[in-house]
């Protein structure tokens, strides 16, 4: 799915649409990508001369990627974070980097969904964690 197709699922729009494309695998995993261009709003002032994607933005990117796993539940509704657990940051994401997010549904009890995910750049882990959402 490209950005335009994702807009049919996600309620996010520019500048907060933080996923470029998504592939849903046969084994139930979501693989999403985002290339950091360098002109994003979240890089302004974080940090001058050394732009680094903030950790909270990496978590938001993971959340948007995760929401695609919940397409049927999300369509026409809003996925809201209810928890962020066991998050670890291991490497910085900078302009020019392409982040790959891999997310998998751990369990669900509508309207709550629990997802584990990680982000990598060229195979090196950048971030990992467990995320929970309520679909409202």
33 is catalytic: no
Distance CA 23, CA 15 (A): 22
Taking Cα atoms as reference points, which of 123, 117, 125 lies closest to residue 59? 117
Cα 63 to chain center, whole Å? Answer: 4
Instruction: Check: CB of residue 80 under 8 Å from CB of residue 124.
Output: no
Active-site annotation, residues: 46
């Amino acid at each position: 799915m490209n950005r335009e197709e994702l807009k049919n699922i996600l309620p996010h729009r520019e500048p907060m649409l933080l996923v470029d494309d998504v592939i849903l695998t046969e084994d139930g995993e979501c693989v999403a990508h985002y290339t950091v261009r360098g002109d994003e709003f979240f890089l302004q002032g974080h940090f001058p001369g050394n732009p680094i994607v903030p950790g909270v933005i990496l978590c938001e990117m993971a959340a948007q990627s995760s929401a695609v796993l919940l397409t049927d539940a999300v369509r026409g509704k809003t996925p809201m974070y209810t928890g962020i657990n066991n998050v670890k940051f291991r490497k910085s994401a900078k302009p020019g980097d392409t982040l790959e997010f891999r997310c998998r549904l751990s369990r669900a009890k509508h309207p709550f969904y629990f997802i584990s995910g990680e982000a990598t750049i060229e195979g090196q882990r950048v971030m990992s964690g467990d995320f929970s959402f309520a679909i409202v």
